[in-house]
């Protein structure tokens, strides 16, 4: 009853549509929801960036934007905890807008410093069903005077599968803007390959659960190798995430993987650390 009351109040304030899923995690989620709403409103969410390295020549070609929330009492709250809360409470649109705006602002700064990097922003399932998304993306690119080729959007198979028709429509509109699209966490969803080939995406990101263990588990190595071959056969670029050792990096080079991300290369960090981080990575 308490939750319903708070949600109804929040609804009147124009923030949320009450969703019964919110009942599941009860008071904990409700507390997070209130604090998160405030954090978004006050511009307190941070964005960190993890470099994407081209395997062929070791150049840093882009970064992935990862949202961070330094909660006043709880400290760093992981996105795996609060992004789902945002999804369930109608906060995902302002969250996505905040990350997009910050990421494009930082990208514009790097370009002024002579760094030609693309920036990738993660889209949650609900964003992918939001028909206002393409226009908001276009507006943010205009605000920061950036060409659309600077931006990449990462979507998951399972998000696209929630309402394949609508997702396809939104993806085509985004693609028409000139934004790059990639499928994240590839291999963990249940999308049919036939469906994925109909999406206007240019890149597959192999989920880190396969990459992290490919040195130890021969079936993971087979999955990584065949995903690379399959993607290349379809004319797609492949990014491996979760590269944690030199051995994995070397193996990926052997298999012809296009780009890699992972703690062994670089951990996510604040935007200001990116120029120095890029220089250091490329010297290695």
The residue behind tokens 């949650």 is 124
**Contact with ligand C2E (CB under 6 A) among 35, 152, 185, 259:** 185
Say if strands 203-206 and 269-270 run parallel, antiparallel, or are unpaired.
unpaired
Contact residues for Ca ion (CB under 5 A)?
122, 154, 184-185
Q: What CA–CA distance (Å, rounded) separates 178 from 252?
A: 29
Residue 83 interface partner, choices Ca ion, ligand C2E, none, CB cut-off 5-8 Å depending on type: ligand C2E
Q: Residue 65 contacts by C-beta under 8 Å, 6 or more apart in sequence?
A: 47, 48, 49, 99, 102, 103, 119, 120, 121, 122
Q: What's the closest the beta carbon of residue 211 comes to ligand C2E, in angstroms?
A: 8
Binding segment for ligand C2E (CB under 6 A), chosen from 104-112, 129-137, 222-230, 238-246, is: 238-246
Q: What CA–CA distance (Å, rounded) separates 91 from 43?
A: 13
Distance in Å from the first CA to the final CA of the chain: 58
Closest CA to 230 of 191, 195, 257: 257
Binding segment for ligand C2E (CB under 6 A), chosen from 9-17, 118-126, 136-144, 218-226, is: 118-126
Q: Residue 186 contacts by C-beta under 8 Å, 6 or more apart in sequence?
A: 157, 204, 205, 206, 207, 227
**Contact with ligand C2E (CB under 6 A) among 88, 106, 107, 122:** 122
Nearest residue (CB) to ligand C2E, 153 versus 228: 153
Binding segment for ligand C2E (CB under 6 A), chosen from 160-168, 219-227, 232-240, 258-266, is: 258-266
Residues 43-72 that bind ligand C2E (CB under 6 A): 50, 65-67
**Contact with ligand C2E (CB under 6 A) among 78, 178, 256, 270:** 78
Residues at the site binding ligand C2E, with contacts judged by CB under 6 A: 50, 65-67, 78-80, 83, 99, 122-124, 184-185, 208, 241-244, 261-263, 268
């Amino acid at each position: 009853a308490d939750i319903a009351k708070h949600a109804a109040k929040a609804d009147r304030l124009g923030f949320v549509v009450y969703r019964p899923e919110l009942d599941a995690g009860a008071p904990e989620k409700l507390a997070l929801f209130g604090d998160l709403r405030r954090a978004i409103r006050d511009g307190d969410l941070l964005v960190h960036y993890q470099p994407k390295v081209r395997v062929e020549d070791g150049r840093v070609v882009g970064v992935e934007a990862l949202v961070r929330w330094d909660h006043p009492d709880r400290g760093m709250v992981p996105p795996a905890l609060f992004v789902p809360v945002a999804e369930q409470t109608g906060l995902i649109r302002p969250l996505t807008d905040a990350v997009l705006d910050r990421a494009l602002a930082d990208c514009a700064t790097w370009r002024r410093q002579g760094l030609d990097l693309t920036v990738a922003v993660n889209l949650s399932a609900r964003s992918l069903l939001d028909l206002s998304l393409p226009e908001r993306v276009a507006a943010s690119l205009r605000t920061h005077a950036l060409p659309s080729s600077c931006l990449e959007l990462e979507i998951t198979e399972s998000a696209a599968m929630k309402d394949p028709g609508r997702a396809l429509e939104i993806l085509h509109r985004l693609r028409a803007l000139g934004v790059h699209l990639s499928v994240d966490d590839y291999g963990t969803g249940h999308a049919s390959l036939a469906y994925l080939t109909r999406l206007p995406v240019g890149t597959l990101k192999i989920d880190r659960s396969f990459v992290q263990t490919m040195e130890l588990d021969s079936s993971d190595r087979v999955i990584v190798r065949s995903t690379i071959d399959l993607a290349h056969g379809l004319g797609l670029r492949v990014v491996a995430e979760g590269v944690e050792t030199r051995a994995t990096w070397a193996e990926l080079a052997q298999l012809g993987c296009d780009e890699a991300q992972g703690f062994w290369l670089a951990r996510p960090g604040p935007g200001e650390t990116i120029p120095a981080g890029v220089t250091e990575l490329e010297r290695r």
